[in-house]
Amino acid sequence: MSNRVRNPPPGLSPLVELLRCIECGAPVKIKEIAAGPGYQELGPDGWLECTSCGERYPVIGGTPRMLDRTARAELRASYPATAIELPPPGAEAVKNGSSSIMQRTADSFAYEWRHFGRPRAEWQQNFVGYMRPHGPGFFRDKLVLDVGTGSGRHSAQAAALNARVVAVDLGRSVDVARRNLPHEVLTVQADAERLPFAPGVFDFVMSIGVLHHLPDTERAFRSLVPVVAPGGRLHIYVYWVPERAFHRHLLRLVAAIRPVTTRLPYRVLHPLCYPLAAFLWLSVVAPYRALRNRPRGRRVAEALPLKTYADYPFGVLVNDQFDRFSAPIEHRYTRSEVESMLKEAGLTEVTVIPNAGWIGDGRVPGINH
């Protein structure tokens, strides 16, 4: 079989040809598509095989699982009904895999997007805001990588704007993305710090709301740079250190509570987010909505936190409280720190834009292919 999959099986995107072995960097080929039910409501099950070293990567529910050997061994527990025979977990996987901070983070987001990941009409305008300074026309015919795709909402918008899209996530939230995304988008389960792609492939790499939850944000950010094509753009969103003192005091309170909430079972934390969101809606969001269009109230309104939620349904505020209080790690940055991170990675034409956080964007030097 050719390494370039011109006619992949139904449910598997042609962009599978972009994948590379994480052990040796060689192309992979489709080795087997399994018969049987498996997770075929999402897509086919099967195997990819490295054309050089022979390493094998499972495809479960239409998503290639480009993980290291330890993480691949753990898939058997997560996907017991798969149509392919996965290896049993070894001692190393049992000892180290599920207890890692990265796994806890992936599990947190997997729960979040299973419960809050349905598509919303509001995500179109949300995407436009996060993609500044690039307008909707920027994405036509671009090859886009979405790292930390979650429910796939940003990937879906890019695909709707005629981009070719690969959506990556480390945890089982990638199954939510697969369910939400069209066939043409390739979903991949992979580590942001060990991406299964050749250097210089993508015109645009985005990571929205993910890097600040990783143990070493700067290291993860630098791992994205090599897969951007010369002349391409790298685009991130990270939490900010607010400029208003009142907002900073509120975040100190949040930080004091997080060591407790991040250890709560998700089934306990989830219902607690509803009364918290209701309190925030009544005390902050509703007053902002009432004041923002009144000449005498605008100044007061602009000083309020959480203004972003004024144009979204209540459920989005609940979602974000779960996000805030469940993720094990949360880093925050000043504008100058984000700018320095982009420039130190060798990016040029750097811009940093406020958006209830910082949007950072830069160009990889070279001529666009």
pLDDT tens-digit series, residues 129-168: 999 999 999 999 999 999 999 999 999 999 999 999 999 9
Tell me: do 237 and 251 sit in the same domain. Answer: no
Cβ proximity of 61 and 45 under 8 Å: yes
Output the pTM of the full model.
0.90
User: Is residue 185 in a domain?
Assistant: yes
Cβ proximity of 213 and 330 under 8 Å: yes
Q: Is the pLDDT of residue 93 over 70?
A: no
Distance CA 20, CA 125 (A): 34
Query: 186-218 b/e with 16+ CB inside 10 Å = b?
Result: bbbbbbbbebbbeeebbbbbbbbbbbbbbeebb
Tell me: do 149 and 232 sit in the same domain. Answer: yes
Tell me: do 219 and 257 sit in the same domain. Answer: no
Tell me: do 188 and 151 sit in the same domain. Answer: yes
Residues 6+ apart with CB under 8 A from 30: 1, 5, 8, 9, 12, 16, 46, 47, 48
Tell me: do 172 and 185 sit in the same domain. Answer: yes
Run of H or E residues at 74: helix 69-78
Domain range for residue 256? Answer: 245-326
Cβ–Cβ contacts within 10 Å for residue 229, how many?
Answer: 20
Please tell me the total count of domains within the chain.
Answer: 3
User: Is residue 137 in a domain?
Assistant: yes
- Tell me the pLDDT of the chain averaged across its residues: 90
Q: Report the alpha-carbon angle 143-210-337, nearest 5.
A: 100
Closest CA to 117 of 60, 68, 174: 174
- What's the CATH number where 145 sits? 3.40.50.150
Tell me: do 185 and 63 sit in the same domain. Answer: no
Query: Could you tell me the pLDDT band of residue 294, with boundaries at 50, 70 and 90?
Result: confident
Residues 225-257 have pLDDT tens digits of: 999 999 999 999 999 998 778 788 888 899 999
Residues 306-334 have pLDDT tens digits of: 888 988 999 999 999 999 999 999 999 99
Distance CA 280, CA 262 (A): 20
Residue where a domain terminates, one of 99, 134, 169: 99
User: Is residue 344 in a domain?
Assistant: yes
Q: Is the pLDDT of residue 1 over 50?
A: no
Tell me: do 170 and 220 sit in the same domain. Answer: yes
User: Is residue 230 in a domain?
Assistant: yes
Tell me: do 263 and 321 sit in the same domain. Answer: yes
Tell me: do 150 and 228 sit in the same domain. Answer: yes
Residues 17-68 have pLDDT tens digits of: 999 999 999 999 999 887 677 777 888 999 999 999 999 999 999 999 999 9
Tell me: do 220 and 256 sit in the same domain. Answer: no
User: Is residue 110 in a domain?
Assistant: no
pLDDT at residue 35, as a whole number: 67
Tell me: do 62 and 163 sit in the same domain. Answer: no
Tell me: do 62 and 19 sit in the same domain. Answer: yes
